[in-house]
Structure 1
Amino acid sequence: MTDTGEKQERMDADRNALQGFEVLGLSISQCILAIVEGKVPEELVVRIEGGTCFEDLQELGRQYAEKYWKDLAGPALVVFNRLLAARRISQPRLEGKEPPDTSKGIWRFRPLQLGTDELQDLLAISDAFLNMPAQGRDDFIDILPQAGLQELVLHLRQGRLAAFFPGYLEKTTTLTAVQIFGLIRERLKEFFREANPQHRATIYPALMQILGPSFRTYHVQSQQPTSGVDSRAPQHSRVGPPRPGPSRS
């Protein structure tokens, strides 16, 4: 297969893996820039809501190109106009509603609100995890550290992952911690094997935020050369160590 063919195959796999995921942008200027810079896939952005109140959105685009997008004004305007034509840009204030609160980040990836770097990392982890063979995911779940399992239990007890594990409290009332952890592992395997894309996308962001740190370590280690493997061969991984410093929003 040619390099072009391999690249297209990977892109198709990525799109299929993230099928059904929807991201809501909360800042027209910053979200457009993140899309243009390749940090967030445009096709995942269902809509961008701005805190502005422009009657003429074309004028908004012109002003933002000069003030915020600058050297990237050309491609930014292309993305802006494409989203505008698709009615994927809105201004709640024009409808008498409150503008979006961006204090926790400029992206809403239900039920999470994240900065661009945080969202980019979570999408990279999601891409790597969902593109793994089913057996690879099962292997990771089998060695999921106790800390990750305990956090899942905490969320389940508080009802924040009820859609992931319906009837959790009733099913675990008389079980020991070891039995509960085993039940959760089996439910994780079942969920990733059987959930349809829309159902998976509804639950996945919060679930993967919990599993993400453990999976990042597992994935990076799995890419390291082992005995009997030519260490000169390139090790491909789209999931690296966490980004240093606070995330930009």
Structure 2
Amino acid sequence: MSRLAGKRALITGAARGQGAAAARRFVAEGARVIIADVLDDEGKALADELGEPAEFRHLDVSQEDEWGAVVGDEQITVLVNNAGILHFAPLADTSLADYERVIRINQIGTFLGMRAVIPGMITAGGGSIINTSSIEGLAAAPTLVAYTASKFAIRGMTKVAALELGSKGIRVNSVHPGMIDTRMLPTALGGVEVDLSRVGKRLPLRRVGRADEIADLIVFLASDESSYCTGAEFVADGGATASHALSVT
């Protein structure tokens, strides 16, 4: 398969979870991929698994100088801003430090990533930027004030970038996953395992999502198949956002 043949991609937070699933699919579809993460051992192991088309680069997305070191003069034609963290706390109990930590990684990391790849994409004649938001970028959830703020911001930044960059052949879209079976939730809860099947039973599809299902959507947005898509929100949530507070499932 070669839906991404000739593409040079950079995927952040790619050492595991949704990012790793996307990296695997990108390589399978013919792309050359930079696996970027702060999890060095896991990222290097994935790059070794995927072979010559993949390489690992250490990247803390919240640090401007690290973006410069990783992107450099590379002509990245696909950027997947996937790195993100989750923090649970009621608004009244959210410390400024915790709020800023989420914003720096989720929101500022996305901003820095988009800005870093623009020159190379213009030189290459265009590209695709895929920003991972969330269903919490479409509607709110309690105890997630920092996360929700960051994901709404990503949604807005995506639209601004789409307006500014469309004439240069650069498409910018946001992806809004619902509950996906990754390590993100247990990590945010300090390693506590969560029975996601209880959440899944509340959804129209009666299950939580898989990382490879989000990867399939990202491949579509990275490929020329989505050539007329920009500034849009692509939701993959098992039907979570189809309901409202008074609905009964």
TM-score range, shorter chain: under 0.3
Structure having the larger proportion of residues in helix: 1
Structure having the larger proportion of residues in strand: 2
**Greater Rg by CA:** 1
Provide TM-score, normalisation by structure 2. Answer: 0.24
